[in-house]
């Protein structure tokens, strides 16, 4: 089950990675025409609408991403099946068909069916498509039906299975929708306190990859909150001073708080390990500041010092709650880094984004003090404070030409190619399945320069690499083959 959720989380990162492009286009468009939002300038209109295409169709992108990511060999047929599944659900559970089934007027159809084009349904369609591909893409048929054998059979089964899935969805989806709306409205009605609770849960769920499900409720259109879409003006219903409250408070944490934590970990590292720890922490801190990608830094202490991670989740909740209580709003398309902060200045519902800077400086200090105190007080084994003496072995320079060397060391630490059963990667992690967990040598793996190693299951191993994981993964796959 854990492996399933890990793969699902990785699959969702594929469509989420599309968002920076939309953010850049829309941010430039709003800078050109901050008052008319494209009404006063043709170039601004083109940029804003082009960027909005990604946000408005995120559910379809989720279906495609999940189908590709969850299929055995990431073959394009799974993506075609996802589109077919998506179109089937949108038709069979759309207001028009449900109206005929219920025998009522369109305005009497439950509101849930007008919101069937959401990320939750997108993920479900992606899972159906991936299941059909994995199950049927090698199926044999009699000679007279040979044309429909193999991959051509996948779309056929996708339609049939999706139709079957629509039956329980007809009854279950209104209940699920009502529950999501209730959760969203409950937190929404709590104002800044609710925003703080959301911020806390957002970080707390990252280790198991389920923060995406929570985010879809508040950032997208699952429960009609759609904080991202409304903030950027791609969806109606935004409220000045309210829209953006589930985004703005993340900027002080990702741009300042986590870099402050990285500095604390560097200052408390053992003298002989400062250079190695500094290289890891500096690159991770810069990644968090500029792009808002925090996994390389968070995973560097998440499992080494879980108490620190809980403190990080609490501080994130405080930041989100405090900023939500102030007349400050900023938003993002990808994550709460410098690039998105800068580009959101002229978004329709931006408010005093520059005030996030002094708040960020305060959180930099808070994170530094809290992390340094907890590390020294409880002797937490953060990067550079491990009890082992393998610092001399951690000397691989991860330059543009050393990915192969890093992959080789990681493979040796995993027990060799014969011990590997599955290789995959997400935006920051090399995800692997091994035959014999006892052959895994974490010290050897860390000697490659990896930020950390986590073992979420008996045969599952994740190696934290950072944003350049794709290059290492490519070299690793060559070695395994």
d(CA 58, CA 353): 26
Q: What is the pLDDT of residue 447?
A: 87
d(CA 325, CA 192): 5
The dihedrals phi and psi of 377, each to the nearest 5 degrees, come to -65, -45
d(CA 30, CA 26): 6
d(CA 430, CA 465): 7
pTM summary value: 0.60
Q: What pLDDT, in 10s, does the model give residues 34-46?
A: 667 678 889 989 9
Q: Examine the pLDDT at 213 and tell me if it is beyond 70.
A: no
Q: Find the range with the poorest average confidence among 71-75, 87-91, 342-346.
A: 71-75
Which pLDDT band holds residue 427 (cuts at 50, 70, 90)? low
Contact 461, 425 (CB under 8 A): no
Mean pLDDT of 213-220: 77
Q: What is the pLDDT of residue 391?
A: 39
Q: Which residues contact 50 (CB under 8 A, 6 or more apart)?
A: 22, 25
Q: Is 18 a catalytic residue?
A: no
Mean pLDDT of 231-248: 87
What length is written for the chain? 481
d(CA 104, CA 453): 57
The dihedrals phi and psi of 352, each to the nearest 5 degrees, come to 45, 50
Mean pLDDT of 347-363: 95
Contact 258, 291 (CB under 8 A): no
The dihedrals phi and psi of 332, each to the nearest 5 degrees, come to -145, 160
Q: What mean pLDDT is reported for the chain?
A: 84
* Token duo for residue 265: 């970990």
Q: Examine the pLDDT at 392 and tell me if it is beyond 70.
A: no
Contact 190, 245 (CB under 8 A): no
* Token duo for residue 139: 């199926």
**Cα separation values, 406 from 295, 438, 451, 459, Å:** 20, 21, 12, 22
Q: In b/e form, how buried is each residue of 116-154, taking b as 16+ CB within 10 angstroms?
A: bbbbbbbbbbbbbbbbbbeebbeeeeeeeeeeebebebb
Q: What pLDDT, in 10s, does the model give residues 279-334?
A: 878 888 887 888 787 877 887 788 778 899 999 999 999 999 999 999 999 998 76
Please identify which of the residues 125, 132, 287, 426 carries the catalytic annotation.
426
d(CA 157, CA 332): 39
- Residues 431, 433, 438: CA angle, nearest 5 degrees: 120
Contact 98, 113 (CB under 8 A): yes
Mean pLDDT of 192-211: 83
Residue corresponding to tokens 């389920």: 210
Which pLDDT band holds residue 209 (cuts at 50, 70, 90)? low
Q: What is the pLDDT of residue 254?
A: 94
Mean pLDDT of 332-355: 88
d(CA 92, CA 170): 9
d(CA 206, CA 209): 5
Q: Examine the pLDDT at 358 and tell me if it is beyond 90.
A: yes
User: N- to C-terminal Cα distance for the chain?
Assistant: 27
Q: Examine the pLDDT at 382 and tell me if it is beyond 60.
A: yes
d(CA 279, CA 263): 11
Mean pLDDT of 350-374: 97
Q: What pLDDT, in 10s, does the model give residues 108-152?
A: 888 888 878 877 788 899 999 999 999 888 888 887 777 777 888
- Residues 427, 432, 433: CA angle, nearest 5 degrees: 150
Mean pLDDT of 171-199: 83
Contact 327, 351 (CB under 8 A): yes
Radius of gyration of the chain (CA): 24
Q: What is the pLDDT of residue 395?
A: 40
d(CA 452, CA 445): 8
Q: Which residues contact 27 (CB under 8 A, 6 or more apart)?
A: 51, 333, 340, 342, 343, 344, 345, 346, 347
Q: Find the range with the poorest average confidence among 47-51, 101-105, 239-243.
A: 47-51
């Amino acid at each position: 089950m854990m492996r399933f959720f890990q793969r699902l989380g990785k699959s969702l990162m594929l469509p989420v990675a599309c968002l920076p492009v939309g953010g850049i286009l829309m941010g430039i468009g709003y800078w050109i025409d901050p008052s008319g939002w494209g009404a006063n300038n043709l170039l601004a209109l083109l940029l804003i609408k082009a960027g909005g295409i990604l946000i408005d169709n995120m559910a379809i992108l989720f279906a495609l991403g999940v189908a590709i990511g969850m299929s055995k060999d990431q073959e394009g047929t799974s993506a075609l099946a996802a589109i077919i599944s998506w179109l089937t659900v949108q038709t069979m559970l759309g207001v028009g068909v449900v109206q005929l089934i219920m025998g009522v007027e369109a305005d009497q159809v439950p509101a849930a069916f007008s919101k069937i084009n959401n990320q939750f349904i997108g993920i479900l369609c992606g899972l159906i498509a991936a299941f059909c591909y994995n199950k049927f893409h090698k199926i044999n048929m009699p000679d007279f039906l040979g044309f429909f054998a193999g991959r051509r059979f996948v779309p056929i089964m996708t339609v049939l299975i999706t139709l079957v899935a629509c039956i329980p969805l007809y009854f279950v989806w209104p209940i699920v929708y009502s529950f999501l709306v209730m959760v969203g409205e409950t937190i929404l009605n709590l104002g800044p306190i609710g925003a703080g609770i959301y911020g806390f849960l957002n970080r707390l769920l990252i280790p198991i990859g389920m923060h995406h499900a929570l985010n879809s409720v508040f950032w997208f259109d699952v429960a009609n909150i759609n904080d991202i879409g409304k903030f950027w003006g791609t969806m109606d219903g935004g409220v000045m001073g309210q829209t953006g409250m589930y985004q703005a408070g993340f900027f002080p944490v990702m741009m300042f708080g986590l870099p402050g934590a990285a500095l604390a970990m560097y200052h408390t590292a053992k003298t002989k390990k400062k250079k190695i720890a500094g290289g890891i922490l500096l690159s991770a801190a810069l990644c968090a500041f500029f792009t808002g990608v925090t996994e390389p830094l968070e995973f560097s202490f998440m499992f080494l010092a879980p108490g620190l991670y809980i403190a990080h989740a609490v501080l994130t909740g405080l930041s989100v709650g405090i900023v939500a209580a102030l007349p400050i709003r900023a938003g993002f398309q990808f994550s709460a880094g410098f690039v998105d902060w800068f580009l959101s200045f002229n978004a329709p519902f931006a408010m005093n984004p520059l005030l996030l800077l002094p708040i960020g400086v305060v959180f930099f200090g808070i994170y530094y003090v809290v992390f340094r105190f907890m590390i020294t007080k409880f002797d937490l084994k953060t990067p550079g404070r491990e009890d082992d003496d393998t610092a001399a072995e951690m000397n691989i320079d991860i330059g543009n030409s050393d990915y192969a060397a890093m992959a080789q060391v990681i493979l040796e630490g995993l027990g060799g190619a014969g011990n590997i059963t599955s290789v995959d990667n997400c935006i920051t992690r090399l995800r692997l399945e091994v035959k014999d967990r006892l052959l895994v040598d974490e010290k050897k793996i860390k000697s490659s320069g990896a930020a950390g190693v986590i073992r979420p299951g008996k045969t599952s191993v994740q190696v934290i690499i950072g944003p350049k994981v794709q290059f290492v993964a490519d070299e690793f796959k060559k070695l395994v083959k």
